[in-house]
Amino acid sequence: MLSIILRVRRIGSAALLLFAWQFLQPCNTYSQASNDMSANLSIKVHDYRVAEDNFLEALCQVSADFKIPMGIVWVNVTAARRKLSLSWSDSTVQEIIEAITQTQPAYHVEVDNGIVHVFSDEIVPSQNFLFLEIPRFEVRNQAIEMASVNLRQLVKLTVSPPEPIWGGTGGSVFGNTDELKLNLQLSNATVERILDTLAIASASNIWIVTFSNGLVLTPTGFRRTESLWSNSPIAENEQPVWDWVRWGDPTPSGLHKE
């Protein structure tokens, strides 16, 4: 059985061993990404406005405009889906992100390892699968879609462990034909940290976890998740899910559903 332990945000984790064998873009290491992030967040914007259908689209727009990789953790409530129109003069990119975040109660911004995290404090850490620690995660010459599928299979071993079955399972994965092939290995890394690594290393620079507004947990004690690409609830045995957004691509249609 996979050994997984819980983490709480802002508490230092055990040593993370990150070996990048071949990133096709030289800047996709944590140190370089962090330097780029700091520079981009400090940019002074003289005149900027967002007028989007909701909170998430506003964040995705800023992420794309200023090339800021993001990890967004939000709760699917009506308030976060309301239209948002804001403008700034002589503000930094970080101030813009923080202002958008502050339109929602109990949301915060955290910059770590080349990623801007926007997250809701509503999620109890013990119910948040992002704090699960994966002893070993390896990607060999795979696009992010397949790497993400492999990560999800590992997480499901704890969140929605399968019933014993005979034979194998089938499925399909959709992706972009121009997606870079990734090679990386991480040890003792949280799910959040692995998603960050994939976002930095690929062209899918935004990951989004949508937590259900309902308080009923999975049988294993985790908050349920939803997909922005689907109008149907996620089955118990398919929990959890997350979504990827590429800079400049349309945001998922599920952002507009009630």
Question: What would the pLDDT profile of 90-146 be if each residue is shown by its tens digit?
Answer: 999 999 999 999 999 999 999 988 899 999 999 999 999 999 999 999 999 999 999
The pLDDT value given to residue 215: 87
Looking at the domain assignment, is residue 171 inside a domain? no
The pLDDT value given to residue 19: 35
The pLDDT value given to residue 62: 97
pLDDT at 5 over 80: no
Two structure tokens written together for 118: 């926007």
Query: Which stretches does DSSP call E strand in the chain?
Result: 17-22, 44-45, 48-52, 70-75, 84-88, 91-92, 107-112, 115-120, 133-142, 182-190, 206-211, 225-226, 243-245
Question: pLDDT grade, residue 159 (50/70/90)?
Answer: very high
Looking at the domain assignment, is residue 12 inside a domain? no
pLDDT at 177 over 70: no
Looking at the domain assignment, is residue 172 inside a domain? no
The pLDDT value given to residue 252: 76
Q: What is the pLDDT of residues 17-74, one digit of tens each?
A: 333 333 333 334 456 667 788 889 999 999 999 999 999 999 999 999 999 999 999 9
Looking at the domain assignment, is residue 166 inside a domain? no
Looking at the domain assignment, is residue 5 inside a domain? no
Looking at the domain assignment, is residue 226 inside a domain? yes
Helices (H), strands (E): how many in the chain? 5, 13
pLDDT at 166 over 60: no
Give the mean pLDDT of 204-210: 96
Of the listed ranges 4-8, 128-132, 217-221, 253-257, the least confidently predicted one is: 4-8
The pLDDT value given to residue 37: 84
Q: What is the 3-state secondary structure (H, E, C) of 42-91?
A: CCEECCEEEEECCHHHHHHHHHHHHCCCEEEEEECCHHHHCCEEEEECCE
Q: For Cα atoms 247, 249, 255, give the angle at the middle one, nearest 5 degrees.
A: 105
Domain holding 41, by residue range, is: 17-161+178-256
Give the pTM.
0.84
Q: Residue 82 belongs to a domain with what CATH number?
A: 3.55.50.10
pLDDT at 165 over 70: no
Give the mean pLDDT of 81-92: 95
Question: pLDDT grade, residue 175 (50/70/90)?
Answer: very low
End-to-end Cα spacing for the chain: 38
- As for how many domains the chain has, the answer is 1
pLDDT at 14 over 80: no
Residue predicted with more confidence, 49 or 229? 49
The pLDDT value given to residue 250: 84
pLDDT at 157 over 60: yes
Looking at the domain assignment, is residue 212 inside a domain? yes
pLDDT at 198 over 70: yes
Looking at the domain assignment, is residue 248 inside a domain? yes
- Average pLDDT, rounded, for the chain: 84
pLDDT at 10 over 80: no
The two beta strands, 115-120 and 70-75, are: parallel
Question: pLDDT grade, residue 80 (50/70/90)?
Answer: very high
Question: pLDDT grade, residue 163 (50/70/90)?
Answer: confident
